[in-house]
């Protein structure tokens, strides 16, 4: 794996700075995403442990319920699928962490529990309110959130389900994820970069200030 260099924009420049100072990274692992196989998780965490002093693993299994419901699953089944997918990612992550620690890595790696560690947090709740407010009042942000959500659920939408109506449910996943990513730096009181393997235009534009005119002290680090 490697960092994708020479990307422009505030989000990437912030990310490069955090890497240069061996700062803190949030690694997002999406429940149900086939990318996060055991060997990929292992390689990603081993590589990231060389770059950062602290890694926070974020597995949004509770918000993922919205995605599965948007695809057409009933609430009980959506919760079961999301819970199982989240547990699988936690087991894979912990197995990789155990291997890394056995090799005497100095990196501190934490796996967050969404329901216990994130949902009750004051900063998360505050940022969640702000993100939902931005969604309601900013047309471009709303459009980008809905377009991103539709790309995720369209290919998995059960027959007979309306895409626009399903998107009303599905957007909660992305909005809650954004709320967490903006809240956690406030809690730990240090700059944080988000690590992922694909570009995420909504996050990039949000940090760059495209929606509200305010550049954020948040980073994005693309690792492939």
Phi-psi region of 120 (alpha: psi -120 to 50; beta: other; left: phi over 0): alpha
* Within-domain flag for 2: no
What's the rounded mean pLDDT across residues 146-163?
A: 86
* Within-domain flag for 25: yes
Per-residue pLDDT band for 189 (boundaries 50, 70, 90) equals confident
| Closest CA relative to residue 57, chosen from 7, 91, 82 | 91
Per-residue pLDDT band for 164 (boundaries 50, 70, 90) equals confident
* Within-domain flag for 3: no
* Within-domain flag for 125: yes
Provide the domain count of the chain: 1
The DSSP 8-state label assigned to residue 198 in this structure reads: S
- Most confident range, picked from 103-107, 163-167, 196-200: 196-200
* Within-domain flag for 4: no
pLDDT at 208 over 80: yes
* Within-domain flag for 116: yes
Phi-psi region of 2 (alpha: psi -120 to 50; beta: other; left: phi over 0): beta
Instruction: Say if CB 179 and CB 123 are below 8 A apart.
Output: no
Give the range of the structural domain holding residue 119, as residue numbers without chain letter.
10-222
Give the pLDDT confidence score for residue 118 in this predicted structure. Answer: 95
| Closest CA relative to residue 195, chosen from 181, 179, 205 | 181
Give the pLDDT confidence score for residue 155 in this predicted structure. Answer: 82
pLDDT at 160 over 80: no
Instruction: Say if CB 170 and CB 145 are below 8 A apart.
Output: no
* Within-domain flag for 211: yes
What's the rounded mean pLDDT across residues 206-221?
A: 94
Number of Cβ within a 10 Å radius of residue 80: 14
The DSSP 8-state label assigned to residue 220 in this structure reads: E
What's the rounded mean pLDDT across residues 38-54?
A: 96
Q: What is the DSSP string of 107-164?
A: -EEEEPPIIIIITT-HHHHHHHHHHHHHHHH-HHHHHHHHHHHHHHHGGGPPTT--HH
Q: Hey, what are 203's tokens?
A: 């996050």
Provide the H-helix boundaries in the chain: 10-20, 38-51, 61-71, 75-102, 122-137, 139-153, 163-188, 201-208
* Within-domain flag for 1: no
The enclosing domain of 205 has a CATH number of 3.40.50.11710
């Amino acid at each position: 794996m490697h960092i994708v260099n020479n990307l422009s924009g505030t989000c990437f420049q912030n990310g490069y700075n955090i890497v240069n100072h061996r700062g803190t990274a949030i690694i997002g692992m999406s429940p149900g995403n086939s990318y996060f196989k055991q060997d990929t998780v292992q390689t990603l965490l081993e590589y990231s442990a060389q770059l950062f002093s602290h890694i926070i693993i974020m597995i949004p299994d509770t918000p993922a319920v919205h995605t599965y419901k948007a695809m057409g699953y009933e609430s009980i089944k959506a919760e079961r699928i999301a819970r199982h997918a989240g547990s699988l990612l936690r087991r894979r992550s912990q197995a990789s962490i155990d291997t890394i620690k056995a090799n005497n890595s100095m990196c501190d790696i934490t796996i967050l529990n969404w329901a216990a560690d994130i949902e009750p947090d004051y900063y998360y709740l505050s940022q969640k309110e702000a993100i939902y407010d931005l969604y309601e009042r900013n047309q471009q942000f709303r459009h980008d959130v809905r377009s991103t959500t539709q790309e995720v659920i369209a290919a998995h939408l059960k027959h007979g389900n309306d895409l626009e109506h399903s998107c009303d449910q599905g957007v909660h996943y992305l909005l809650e994820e954004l709320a967490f990513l903006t809240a956690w730096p406030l809690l730990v009181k240090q700059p944080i970069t988000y690590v992922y393997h694909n570009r995420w235009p909504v996050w990039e534009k949000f940090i760059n200030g495209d929606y509200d005119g305010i550049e954020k002290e948040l980073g994005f680090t693309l690792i492939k």
